[in-house]
């Protein structure tokens, strides 16, 4: 008997449909996992000064971090002395150091939607804080004298360059200098 029997074909068609359906369902489940892992990228090395004085406010900026799921990110800075800036949307923050030394400033970002998703610390910027002599008070761009001399000068006088910053005394007016017991320099005639 060579009559064709159609039934097995129907069965086979049905049996093909089942794996296709299973595959589709698996794909649906899998496709949800295909979403990128939730992570925040590393921001740039902080830009800012490489040196400063004690007590001086130094501003640093960073940028370039993003959340893999497109959320907003926040930044913070590690100041290298065990302290941190607060988390914030701003890409900049300022710091003043109380003691001299070299500090490593780094930046980090996190996801605002899921704050536990925190990125890596950036490359660090070294900042050298010097043992600054306190700046002389007064108007150093007007009249200058040395603590060791009775003469006062215009700030532009060549003698001023020879006065060490530790010995500088500054005055806003001639009267102020004279009142302090100083007399005018004969070269710059203030
Ligand atoms: Zn996120
Ligand atoms: Zn002078």
Give a yes or no: residue 43 inside a domain: no
> Given 86, 108, 130, which residue is the final one in a domain?
130
Q: How far is the CA of 64 from the centre of ligand 1 (A)?
A: 15
| Mean pLDDT of successive 10-residue stretches along the chain, which has 190 residues | 55 59 56 77 97 93 97 98 97 95 97 97 95 65 92 94 89 92 96
Q: How far is the CA of 158 from the centre of ligand 2 (A)?
A: 7
- Tens of pLDDT, residue by residue over 159-173, are 998 998 889 999 989
78 with 107, same domain?
yes
Which helix H or strand E contains 61, and what residues bound it? strand 58-61
90 with 124, same domain?
yes
178 with 153, same domain?
yes
- Predicted pLDDT at 155: 92
- Predicted pLDDT at 52: 92
Q: Which ligand is nearest to the CA of 159?
A: 2
Give a yes or no: residue 20 inside a domain: yes
- Predicted pLDDT at 121: 98
Spatial separation of the C-alpha atoms in residues 182 and 157, rounded to whole Å: 15
- Predicted pLDDT at 16: 64
Spatial separation of the C-alpha atoms in residues 69 and 3, rounded to whole Å: 61
- Predicted pLDDT at 165: 83
Q: How far is the CA of 154 from the centre of ligand 2 (A)?
A: 6
Q: Return the closest-CA partner of residue 110 out of 163, 73, 145, 68.
A: 73
116 with 164, same domain?
no
Beta strands in 112-158 (DSSP E): 125-130, 143-146, 151-154
- Tens of pLDDT, residue by residue over 5-32, are 555 555 555 566 666 555 555 555 555 5
69 with 93, same domain?
yes
Q: How far is the CA of 151 from the centre of ligand 2 (A)?
A: 8
Give a yes or no: residue 138 inside a domain: no
- Predicted pLDDT at 148: 92
113 with 57, same domain?
yes
Give a yes or no: residue 42 inside a domain: no
What pTM value is reported for the model? 0.55
- Predicted pLDDT at 130: 86
Give a yes or no: residue 44 inside a domain: no
Count of structural domains within the chain? 3
Q: Which ligand is nearest to the CA of 183?
A: 2
Q: How far is the CA of 36 from the centre of ligand 1 (A)?
A: 11
111 with 57, same domain?
yes
31 with 59, same domain?
no
Spatial separation of the C-alpha atoms in residues 103 and 98, rounded to whole Å: 12
Q: Which ligand is nearest to the CA of 38?
A: 1
Domain that holds residue 170: 143-184
Cβ-Cβ contacts under 8 Å for 91 (sequence gap 6 or more): 43, 61, 62, 63, 75
């Amino acid at each position: 008997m060579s009559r064709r029997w159609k039934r097995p074909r129907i069965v086979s068609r049905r049996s093909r449909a089942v794996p296709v359906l299973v595959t589709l369902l698996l794909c649906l489940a899998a496709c949800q996992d295909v979403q990128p892992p939730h992570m925040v990228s590393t921001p740039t090395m902080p830009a800012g000064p490489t040196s400063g004085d004690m007590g001086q406010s130094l501003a640093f900026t960073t940028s370039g971090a993003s959340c893999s799921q497109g959320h907003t990110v926040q930044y913070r800075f590690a100041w290298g002395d065990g302290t941190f800036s607060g988390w914030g949307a701003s890409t900049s923050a300022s710091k003043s150091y109380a003691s001299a030394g070299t500090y490593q400033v780094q930046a980090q970002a996190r996801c605002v939607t899921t704050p536990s998703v925190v990125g890596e610390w950036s490359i660090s910027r070294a900042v050298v804080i010097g043992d600054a002599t306190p700046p002389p008070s007064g108007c150093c761009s007007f009249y200058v004298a040395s603590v060791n001399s009775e003469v006062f000068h215009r700030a532009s006088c060549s003698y001023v360059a020879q006065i060490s910053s530790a010995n500088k005394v500054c005055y806003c007016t001639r009267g102020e200098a004279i009142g302090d017991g100083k007399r005018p320099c004969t070269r710059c005639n203030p």
